[in-house]
Amino acid sequence: MGVVVEMDYITIIGLVAAALTAIAFFPQLMKVWKTKSTKDISLGMFSIFSLAVFLWFVYGILINDPPVTIANFLVFVQAFAILMFKVKYKIHPEHLEFFVNVLIINRNFETSKRDFINYPAPH
């Protein structure tokens, strides 16, 4: 005979909510990964959100609540990945070149400024 695990309806609701929450970020992560564009994602919001979800994950561990722990772990991984893409794609390569030329190499500011203005906007 196998072991029968009974789950009450509250746990089932929690697990369904956890699954939906974890799945919700996947399309955004895939879009960012494919397009390499994070222009419409707020760095501040995703930073705070990632920290909050991480704290919910820790909270889930501390209270021994699998739905809270699992959902927030999965969401944190995805949110953190989006946050890393945001940081990676925040500065357009040509704009980075401008800052390196002006701030580090001390190249002529007016020439660099003209070059900077002619570069495309960051994604």
The amino acid sitting at 91 is I
Question: Looking at the structure, do residues 73 and 110 belong to the same domain, yes or no?
Answer: no
Q: What's the CA gap between 11 and 55, in Å, rounded?
A: 21
Question: Looking at the structure, do residues 72 and 12 belong to the same domain, yes or no?
Answer: yes
- Contact between residue 18 and residue 68 where contact means Cβ atoms under 8 Å apart: yes
Question: Looking at the structure, do residues 62 and 111 belong to the same domain, yes or no?
Answer: no
How much is the pTM? Answer: 0.63
Question: Looking at the structure, do residues 47 and 70 belong to the same domain, yes or no?
Answer: yes
Residue 91 has what pLDDT?
58
Question: Looking at the structure, do residues 72 and 111 belong to the same domain, yes or no?
Answer: no
pLDDT score of 17 more than 70: yes
Question: Looking at the structure, do residues 79 and 95 belong to the same domain, yes or no?
Answer: no
Give 23-80 pLDDT, tens digit per residue: 988 998 899 889 988 888 888 888 899 999 999 999 999 999 888 898 899 999 999 9
Q: pLDDT higher for 12 or 77? A: 77
Number of structural domains, the chain? 2
Question: Looking at the structure, do residues 37 and 82 belong to the same domain, yes or no?
Answer: yes
Secondary-structure percent of the chain, ordered helix, strand, coil, rounded to 5: 75, 0, 25
Question: Looking at the structure, do residues 59 and 70 belong to the same domain, yes or no?
Answer: yes
Q: What's the CA gap between 5 and 28, in Å, rounded?
A: 35
- Contact between residue 111 and residue 102 where contact means Cβ atoms under 8 Å apart: no
| Range scoring the smallest mean pLDDT among 9-13, 69-73, 115-119 | 115-119
One DSSP character per residue, 64-114 reads: T-HHHHHHHHHHHHHHHHHHHHHHHHHS-HHHHHHHIIIIIS---HHHHHH
Q: What's the CA gap between 2 and 8, in Å, rounded?
A: 19
Range of the domain at 82: 1-90
Q: What's the CA gap between 50 and 81, in Å, rounded?
A: 10
Question: Looking at the structure, do residues 10 and 49 belong to the same domain, yes or no?
Answer: yes
Question: Looking at the structure, do residues 47 and 14 belong to the same domain, yes or no?
Answer: yes
Residue 86 has what pLDDT?
85
What mean pLDDT comes out for the span 3-11?
72
